[in-house]
Chains A and B, each alone.
Chain A
Amino acid sequence: MSAVVSPEAVAVVRRARRRPIRRTQWVIGGLSLALLGVVAARTLLGDFLITVPDFLRIVTGTEIPGASYVLMESKLPRAVLGVLVGGAFGVAGAIFQTTLRNPLASPDIVGVSVGASAFAVFSIVTLHQSGPMVAVAAVAGALFVAVLVRSQVGSSGGNRLVLVGVGVSAALLSVIQYLFTRADVWDVQLLLQWLTGSLSRVDWPTIRLLAVLLGVLAPLLVWLARSARVAELGEDAAAGLGVTPRRSDALLLVAVLLVAAGVAAAGPIAFVSFLAGPIARALNAGRSTLIGAGLVGAVIVVGADYVATYLVPDVNYPVGVVTGAFGAPFLLWLLATGRAPRRS
């Protein structure tokens, strides 16, 4: 091969190839900074201010009366849980949306989150379980709904999938409500956690469990995620490029497990998976990025939790109410502007 390649052409191609990579790096850097900002706001600001030196001292083990308790039992765990759950939901949502090639087909809209939630509530209210068994139930629920919806619509990711998911969600939501009307104790916060998602019942063991689950899933995800960009091109093109449908299915399975882990810890926080993917994509000039989606999800959850806690004095809204109140209109806007796919 002795074709003459002009150095200019090489430079042009190299620049063109480098630009999106650099853009992605900028986006991820910026989002990381934003995440750091909201986490700092969530832990340090609010109705109980904690200074940065105090924060460092408390975290390294010094006991400051009052401040230590507030930080270690409320503010910090909520922020950490928000980051983990938001990241899991964001990545899972982006995987669903890219693999199924439909911005509406995120796990919270096709019913996977509600399925996890319904099974978790069943295990709590009827079987009196707690801790890891609830997580197992959530995984079972998420898988059940995923398989059910898949069996109803086959492998197409069109709006029929969304519609089936909406129907299944409606049935499961009423099951959750029924289970709670039967429960002896009427706990509004608990009900809302499992209906819309909330970080208010956080504790460190939950965070540890979630961190372990995510730690197990992360390497799998990294290994499978290389196929995500190709799967986005559609089943035939992906098969031609060496990504079998089975590999996309495995990726979806990991996403389902991510959702289930997040739901077991914080309930089905509404619309986070749905929002994270498109926002990250828009920031990244139309290219999907899983890491970006995870960061956006984390920023949304932690930021929404801050708003939910301090927006109205004396009222602690669950974070899912805030994300739902803003996320659902965004879905309506997507429909109204015709950006949702028109395949049925």
Chain B
Amino acid sequence: MTVQTAISVRADPRSPAGRPGTRTAVVLAVLALATAGVASVLVGARLIPPGVVLDPSDPLHAIAAARVDRTLLGLTVGGALGLVGALMQGLTRNPLADPGILGVNAGASFAMVLAISAFGVTDLHSYVWWAFAGAAVAMVLVHAVASAGRDGATPVKVAIAGAALTAAVSSWTSGVLLTDRQTMESFRFWQVGTIGGRASDVLLVGLPFLAVGAVLALTSARSLNALALGDDLARGLGRRVALDRLVIGVAVVLLAGAATALAGPVAFVGLIVPHGVRAVVGPDYRRVLPLSLAYGAVLVLVADVVGRVVLPPAEVQVGIMTAVVGVPVFLRLVRRGRIGAL
């Protein structure tokens, strides 16, 4: 929905780089965030009147409090996923880059399952580190495999390598889980990707990592702009390409790993949002990155709210909603002529 609105306000094609769209996009992002946030607190299996949120004596207050936690988690996870999608697309110059498609989420979740099951790690403080390690290994592995062939890491090969890694890792994950009934129970709902039913302290554990990742990401807009011209030109412009890539890679690992640790593997947010944003404000990462963060948060919240009411009485988890919305966008990207580098 948000992508649709974003695209519908596309600036007049004659204006250079769609710049007049930027202000509209920013205003819309603020409005959409506010609306989605309020809706996420008030809408659900049971509608809550706004006054309840501030009134601790009301019987519905507990529901409201749980929904506030859930909304905050959705905002942070969604922002992180939108941002990480833009970062990965810029870093690899691959329009299909998304932490879900490229196997980064799968790597993180496998590492966490391994930590919980094989090493007896029970504390979120500890296994968030495993999620980072898994995300980093998966990212490096996918690119190593995809770039090994004769023609280097084409977008198509990277995406297929990501899918293969996801398939392998999910087999291993099921293999570990089946030996361990208890882990399976706690993993059951986490595996589909959801922001519901988490305590607020979960968010506090992830927040520092997400904050560092977001700062690294937002400050690397200039290096992404330079990298978009190709490594040689970026070097000519005075960038230290290897260092830039390392910083962006660390940001990707922090954001994707922490988001996966908090909400489970949520795919396609990082794919849809940056493309929608780019269609409105043009390719400048100084605008793409912050807006991807905002619209990622909006998309996850909206998906969550719609998932709560679309098929009562049960909820549709965020991860499932984003997959169902995201696949048509993915197919459109694949179909659209040749898949060039960004």
Contact = CB atoms under 8 A, between A and B. Distances in A.
* B partners with A: yes
Interface of A: 104, 109, 152-153, 159-160, 162-164, 166-171, 173-175, 177-178, 181-182, 186, 188, 192, 195-196, 270-271, 312, 315-318, 320-325, 327-329, 331-332, 335-338, 340, 342, 344
A325 B156 contact: no
A104 B168 contact: no
A321 B267 contact: no
Contacts of B164: 328-329, 331-332, 335
B156 A324 contact: no
Main secondary structure of the interface of A (DSSP, over half): helix
A195 B188 CA distance: 14
Given A104-B160, A160-B334, A171-B323, A324 B167 contact: yes
B178 A336 contact: no
Contact of B331 (A167, A173, A175, A327): A167
B290 interface: no
A344 B151 CA distance: 12
Nearest to B313: A182
B331 A315 contact: no
A321 B151 contact: no
Interface of B: 96, 100-101, 144-146, 148-151, 154, 156-157, 159-161, 163-165, 167-172, 174-175, 178-179, 184, 188-189, 191-192, 267-268, 314, 316-317, 319-320, 323-324, 326-327, 330-331, 334-335, 338-339
Contacts of A336: 144-145, 148-149
Contacts of A177: 191-192, 320
A318 to B, nearest CB: 8
B320 A175 contact: yes
Given A174-B192, A328-B164, A164 B317 contact: no
Contacts of A317: 175, 178
Contacts of B159: 163, 166
B168 A332 contact: yes
B337 to A, nearest CB: 10
B150 A324 contact: no
Nearest to A320: B171
B189 A181 contact: yes
B334 A164 contact: yes
Contacts of A271: 167
A163 B155 CA distance: 10
